[in-house]
Amino acid sequence: MPESAPPASKPQYSRVILKLSGEMMKGPADFGLDAQAVQFIASEIADVARTGIQVGVVIGGGNIFRGSSEAAARMKRAVADHVGMLATVINALMLQDALENMQVPTRVMTALTMANIAEPYIRRRAIRHFERGYVVLFGAGTGNPFFTTDSAAALRANELDADAVLKGTKVDGIYTADPKKDPNAKFLPNCTYDRAIRENLKVMDAAALALCRDNDMPIVVYDLTKAGNTLRVVTDGDIGTKVTKE
């Protein structure tokens, strides 16, 4: 486990919701969970939590099951989405175990009732967990089919009075086009919600962007794969792309 780095400066936020895709949990593999990838993500979250910033995590399940996959092609969308929700809970439990092995207290809360393994999501209880210093891992998305975990992150951030949504990705921010395909793609240090929706910049899905726009919830898109970036984005704030109204 890498040693925790001290914060570079005073934290810019009091409470954040980190949105992770399930793909971040599989590392170099094509499918499933990679122990080293899980440990790395946990260490990045732990470094932030140790600054006193309250951290919630909404995680996807695409490394295990994706509703748009070939395996789901003949399934009803609602059924496929519920299977995907179960995959997010597996990821949340794996991340919980890794964090607690680093002496970071956690709680897993799910939008679907799973009393034997996790708490049901209750807004006031989640806020109380934050106040007591727990990292709160939110599984099962919104609990409703046809909504992505992007929408779940936007929803949780707004109802839990977070200061920002952090979108941890494998790229360093938002570009005008896919930089791997278009050599003329330009990096955007700042972007508006409306531009991200209008130009389909692949930040988050349109429903999540609209929810953040309507409630003036900032989104920061950054490269989570580089050690120290998650801490840096909440302290120095000099990396990634910030999505706001202006």
The upper half-sphere exposure of residue 29, i.e. CA atoms within 13 Å in the direction of its Cβ, equals 17
Tens-digit pLDDT profile for the chain (246 aa)? 445 545 457 899 999 999 999 999 998 888 899 999 999 999 999 999 999 999 999 999 999 987 667 777 789 999 999 999 999 999 999 999 999 999 999 999 999 999 999 999 999 999 999 999 999 999 999 999 999 999 999 999 999 999 999 999 999 999 999 888 898 999 999 999 999 999 999 899 999 999 999 999 999 999 999 999 999 999 999 999 999 998
Closest to 20 (Cα-Cα) out of 101, 94, 77: 94
User: What pLDDT was estimated at residue 67?
Assistant: 64
Q: What is the spatial distance between Cα 137 and Cα 85, in angstroms, rounded to a whole number?
A: 13
Name the superfamily (CATH) of residues 15-244. Acetylglutamate kinase-like (3.40.1160.10)
Task: State the CB neighbour count (10 A cutoff) for residue 57.
Answer: 28
User: What pLDDT was estimated at residue 10?
Assistant: 82
Burial of 115 (0-12, 13-18, 19+ CB in 10 A): exposed
